[in-house]
């Protein structure tokens, strides 16, 4: 098991290096006028040159990357070029907001998807058809459209929930809960639709395997076959689907945070990318890759724990 | 009034026990307010405390009953005193309405609280909450006394002496005196902040007395007073200048103090009225909150749902805002059009001929473009100066009516009957409709636009790179001198290819010799720019600013959003 974990961590670190390097090159290619963007359109040439020197933009690409990488390894991602806040501080303020929304959305989506997918696969009939229609509807209705509809009715018309903003749990738990509802619901729909459909397929394919027929012919109760054998065998596929959905949700939260004006990672990433704020963009990339690696590692470990064959492979 | 979440952090800081109370109270607020009307009366607060389960005193115990009676009498006495006090307070002329709050939906987050990084437009209300400025602009945009109570120009207009208000203190206890003003102006002009170019002509700032400073200039600058009443005039406590702490928390002498415990960087900034502030007329609210909402639709939703009191929207969100009962406070700040930089014809020879530039001006059906692009919200124009600038000439807006035939004739007369190619930069994806109109109208008179796509982050840099003979752009319509320095003088930022013209230079020279002739000569420059077709202005763009029912506001000329002092509670 330890060698399994070590292998996964090493491959994760390799992925981190490759992605961060590519991201740095991409950001570099669009940062030609960054000093002007920071200083404003009326800045003089002398001011622009001074700013470029201050930020190290006059250095060659390799030297700039090396400076960034050597500091990043120590956990120092520098400060935002636009507001001088340290990148770590900006991320630590914003990451909990995004993770809270995604974690809640993921939890609800996982529960609903497993329930619906299992029911559809086992019961069949109208439940199966309903889940499939829901899956199509879930794919067809984008999360941002659902978000706008929800805001219009629940925030503006009924005034039941806040249209925008974030409240810290420690300040006001009730308003914290209220500020979570709409973003979470907006994220959940598409995920449930997609995951339920895939979990249904995974369970159905397990149900068609020979060992299920053998267990049935031996007179083992159907309930026991489902819960002890079929669901266990279908779990790795389900976990993989949910881990992919989690990563998708992190991306989807960018739009949702914009619509609900939530000061999360998504909004930070969009603003930093639009402005060309390299330190912040790189901080967001590294943190996001680390989260994805951790999620994949956890899923791999769970799969290995559930299914010994995974550990051997 | 705008809902401000999370305003009990002070209580939590005092006693963690309140956390539990707060949770219960909040949950009650959430669910309790939604109880059905037919909820059993036995659950009402009054009846609940009569139930034995809540420990009512045994009626047989007389001693206990006496104690209760005594307690009731005491409560009655306290209530009577409190009522009497409140009547007295209501009758007092200085009484203030209970807890007036203002919540502004800010388009941009503040980058730094260092006054050297202050900027006009969306950043002004933030800085006006925390800092005093040397001068202050009135509702017409004219500089008026503030921290500087008087000012005197030298006869050559190269020295400005400011007399400062006595007794003003910063929030950290330091005095706002001549030393503080000198330290701030030196800090501003030597910084790389956005307003540093405004002070490039300042050669020195000298202390002329405890409450007097002398600003020396290399050349007269008729806009200096305007600058000192804007983003160049904010004054921070001198001991904090140059420190990193100033970037994240202001230390000023302004009408409001940042409430750090309720502030969440990048999201919400809460200011409480400064109890020691010297001018109470600038404190119309007890609390001012800035909620940073960068997305326009999110700002619309926030103001319609009552979370914020005021915000800037745009043309597509105007109809739902009006339908939702919001009040529109429109003003005109920017103009949109084409900047024809290559007036010497070095990159595209044709642009060196004034007839070609005039032909381009006649190629556009501005009212049709305004209707299609902005639903008619805006004003078509042929001049680059604003109606509030003092250089505006109403007649100039009729110089170039849509006349493609005359445009073709002018091109033919200039020797370009078959047209020519015009390369221009275009923001990828972001400007498709405007780009399509420009290309289509120019095509009609034989000019082919060659678009060269650039990313939004690089657009301004590309424009300033002097690669292009012309470009579509949107520019601020400031005071006459600001506008002249922005796009007319040979070194102006938006005179990218350094064009000169002898007639325009004559007018500039007259201003330098006699700064009081600024408006008169700016009007002459405006006429020359229009007739010589240096630009192709399309429209003056409206700022669609909205307020809810609890707040009134007056737009500030030449600023993207109203100044903080222009807000007041509705009906006051």
In chain B, what percentage of residues exceed pLDDT 90?
64
Query: Mean pLDDT: which of A34-48, B365-379, B418-432 is highest?
Result: B365-379
Strand partners, B102: B288
Both tokens assigned to A172: 């006001």
Give the CB-side neighbour count of residue B457, counting CA atoms within 13 A. Answer: 19
Cα distances (Å, whole numbers) of residue B259 to A30, A136, B31: 38, 49, 30
Identify the band that residue B493 occupies on the pLDDT scale cut at 50, 70 and 90. confident
pLDDT over 70 at B459, yes or no:
yes
Domain with CATH 1.10.3720.10 in chain A: 87-312
Q: Which residues contact B270 (CB under 8 A, 6 or more apart)?
A: B4, B7, B258, B259, B262, B263, B287, B288, B289
* CATH architecture entry for A87-312: Orthogonal Bundle (1.10)
ipTM of the complex model: 0.81
Give the separation between CA B338 and CA B360, rounded to whole angstroms. Answer: 10
pLDDT on residue B507:
95
Q: Which residue of A has its CA nearest to B482?
A: A42
Q: Coil, helix or strand for A292?
A: helix
Rounded to whole angstroms, how far apart are CA atoms B156 and B158?
A: 5
In this predicted model, what pLDDT tens digit does every residue of B314-326 receive, in sequence order?
988 999 999 999 9
The residues in A 138-177 lying below 8 A from B, measured between CB atoms, are 148, 151-152, 155-156, 159, 162-168, 170-175, 177
Cβ–Cβ below 8 Å for B192 and A47: yes
Interface of B with A in 316-375 (CB under 8 A): 324
What is the pLDDT of chain B when averaged over all its residues?
84
pLDDT value of position A143: 83
pLDDT confidence of residue B124: 96
pTM: 0.79
Q: Do A168 and B266 touch (CB under 8 A)?
A: no
Q: Which chain A residues have a beta carbon less than 8 Å from that of B227?
A: none
B301-357, pLDDT tens digit by residue?
Answer: 999 999 999 999 998 899 999 999 999 999 988 999 999 999 999 999 999 999 999
- Quick check: A128 contacting B, CB < 8 Å? no
Cα–Cα dist B301/B367, whole Å? 31
pLDDT for B544: 95
Confidence of residue B16 (pLDDT cuts 50, 70, 90): very low
B99 CB near a chain A CB, below 8 Å?
Answer: no
Maximum mean pLDDT: which of A202-206, B52-56, B248-252 = B248-252
- Please indicate if any CB of chain A lies within 8 Å of the CB of B139: no
- CB contact set of B178 (below 8 Å; sequence gap of 6+): B164, B207, B208, B209, B210, B211, B212, B213
pLDDT < 50 stretches in chain A: none
Determine the pLDDT at residue B513: 83
| Averaged pLDDT, B206-220 | 94
Least confident of B46-50, B168-172, B200-204: B46-50
A208 in contact with B at a CB cutoff of 8 Å?
A: no
Radius of gyration of chain B (CA): 30
DSSP state letters, A115-148: HHHHHHHHH-HHHHHHHHHHHHHHHHS-HHHHHH
CB B481 within 8 A of CB B518: yes
DSSP notation for B502-550? HHHHHHHHHHHH-GGGHHHHHHHHHHHHHHTTSEEEEEEEEEEEEE-TT
The residue length of chain B stands at: 572
Judge whether residue B494 has pLDDT over 80.
yes
A118 touches chain B (CB under 8 A): no
| The predicted structure's pLDDT at residue B438 | 96
Q: What is the mean pLDDT of residues B234-244?
A: 95
Chain A positions in Cβ-Cβ contact with residue B324 (cut-off 8 Å): 156
Closest residue by Cα to residue A96 from A164, A168, A181: A168
B347: helix, coil or strand? coil
Could you tell me if A238 and A114 are in contact, meaning their C-beta atoms sit under 8 angstroms apart? yes
Pick from B488, B469, B461, B486: nearest CA to B360: B469
Interface with B, mutate which of A36, A171, A182, A269 (most B CBs under 10 A): A171
Beta bridge partners of B551: B569
- Min mean pLDDT across A296-300, B24-28, B65-69, B475-479 is at B24-28
């Amino acid at each position: 098991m330890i060698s399994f974990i070590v292998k996964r961590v090493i491959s994760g670190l390799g992925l981190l290096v490759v992605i961060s390097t590519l991201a740095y090159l991409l950001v570099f290619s669009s940062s030609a006028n960054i000093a002007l963007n920071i200083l404003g359109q009326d800045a003089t040439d002398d001011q622009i040159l001074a700013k470029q020197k201050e930020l190290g933009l006059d250095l060659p690409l390799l030297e700039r990357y090396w400076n960034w990488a050597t500091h990043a390894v120590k956990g120092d991602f520098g400060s935002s070029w636009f507001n001088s806040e340290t990148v770590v501080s900006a991320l630590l303020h914003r990451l909990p907001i995004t993770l809270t929304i995604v974690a809640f959305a993921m939890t609800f989506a996982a529960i609903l998807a497993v329930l619906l997918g299992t029911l559809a696969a086992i019961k069949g009939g109208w439940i199966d058809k309903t889940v499939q229609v829901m899956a199509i509807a879930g794919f067809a209705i984008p999360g941002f459209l659902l978000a706008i509809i929800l805001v219009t009715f629940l925030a503006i018309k009924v005034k039941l929930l806040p249209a925008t903003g974030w409240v810290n749990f420690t300040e006001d738990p009730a308003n914290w809960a209220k500020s979570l509802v709409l973003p979470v619901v907006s994220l959940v729909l598409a995920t449930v639709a997609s995951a339920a459909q895939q979990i249904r397929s995974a369970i159905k394919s397990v149900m068609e395997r020979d060992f299920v027929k053998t267990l049935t012919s031996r007179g083992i109760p159907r309930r026991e076959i489902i819960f002890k054998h079929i669901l266990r065998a279908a779990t790795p596929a389900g976990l993989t689907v949910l881990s992919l959905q989690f990563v998708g949700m992190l991306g989807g939260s960018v739009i949702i945070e914009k619509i609900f004006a939530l000061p999360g990672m998504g909004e930070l990433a969009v603003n930093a990318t639009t402005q060309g704020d390299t330190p912040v963009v790189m901080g967001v990339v590294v943190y996001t890759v680390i989260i994805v690696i951790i999620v994949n590692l956890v899923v791999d470990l769970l799969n290995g724990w559930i299914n010994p064959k995974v550990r051997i492979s | 009034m705008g809902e401000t979440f999370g305003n009990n952090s002070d209580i939590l800081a005092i006693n963690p026990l309140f956390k539990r109370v707060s949770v219960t109270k909040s949950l009650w607020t959430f669910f309790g307010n939604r109880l059905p009307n037919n909820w059993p009366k036995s659950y009402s607060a009054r009846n609940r405390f009569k139930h034995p389960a809540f420990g009512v005193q045994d009626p047989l115990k007389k001693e206990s009953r006496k104690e209760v009676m005594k307690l009731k009498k005491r409560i009655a006495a306290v209530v009577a005193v409190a009522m009497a006090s409140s009547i007295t307070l209501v009758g007092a002329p200085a009484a203030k309405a209970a807890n007036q709050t203002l919540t502004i939906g800010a388009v941009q987050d503040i980058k730094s609280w260092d006054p050297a990084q202050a900027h006009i437009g969306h950043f002004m209300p933030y800085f006006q909450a925390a800092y005093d400025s040397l001068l202050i602009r009135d509702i017409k945009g004219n500089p008026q006394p503030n921290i500087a109570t008087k000012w005197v120009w030298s006869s050559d207009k190269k020295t400005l002496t400011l007399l400062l208000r006595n007794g003003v203190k910063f929030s950290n206890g330091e005095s706002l005196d001549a030393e503080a003003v000198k330290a701030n102006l030196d800090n501003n002009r030597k910084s790389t902040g956005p307003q540093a170019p405004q002070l490039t002509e300042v050669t020195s700032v000298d202390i002329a007395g405890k409450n007097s400073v002398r600003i020396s200039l290399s050349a007269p600058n008729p806009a200096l007073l305007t600058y000192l009443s804007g983003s160049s005039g904010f004054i921070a406590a001198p001991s904090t200048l140059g420190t990193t702490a100033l970037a994240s928390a202001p230390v000023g002498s302004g009408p409001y103090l940042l409430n750090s415990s309720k502030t969440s960087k990048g999201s919400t900034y809460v200011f409480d009225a400064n109890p020691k502030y010297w001018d109470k007329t600038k404190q119309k609210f007890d609390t001012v909150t800035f909620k940073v909402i960068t997305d326009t639709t999110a700002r619309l939703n926030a103001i319609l749902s009552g979370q914020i009191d005021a915000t800037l929207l745009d043309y597509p969100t105007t109809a739902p805002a009006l339908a939702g009962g919001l009040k529109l406070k429109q003003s005109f700040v920017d103009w949109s059009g084409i900047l024809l930089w290559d007036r010497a014809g070095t990159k595209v020879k044709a642009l060196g001929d004034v007839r070609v530039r005039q032909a381009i001006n006649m190629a556009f059906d501005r009212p049709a473009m305004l209707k299609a692009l902005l639903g008619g919200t805006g004003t078509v124009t042929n001049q680059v100066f604003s109606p509030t600038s003092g250089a505006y000439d109403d007649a100039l807006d009729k110089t170039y009516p849509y006349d493609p035939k005359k445009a073709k004739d002018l091109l033919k007369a200039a020797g370009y009957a078959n047209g020519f190619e015009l390369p221009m930069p275009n923001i990828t994806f972001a400007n498709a409709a405007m780009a399509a109109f420009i290309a289509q109208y120019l095509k009609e008179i034989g000019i082919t636009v060659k678009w060269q796509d650039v990313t939004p982050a690089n657009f301004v840099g590309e424009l300033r790179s002097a690669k292009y003979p012309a470009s579509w752009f949107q520019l601020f319509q400031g005071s006459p001198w600001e506008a002249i320095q922005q796009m007319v003088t040979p070194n102006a930022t938006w005179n990218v290819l350094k064009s000169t013209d002898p007639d325009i230079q004559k007018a500039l020279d007259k201003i330098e010799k006699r700064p009081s002739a600024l408006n008169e000569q700016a009007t002459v420059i405006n006429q020359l720019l229009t007739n010589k077709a240096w630009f192709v202005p399309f429209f003056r763009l409206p700022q669609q600013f909205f307020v809810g029912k609890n707040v009134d506001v007056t737009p500030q000329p030449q600023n993207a959003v109203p100044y903080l002092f222009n807000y007041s509670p509705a009906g006051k």
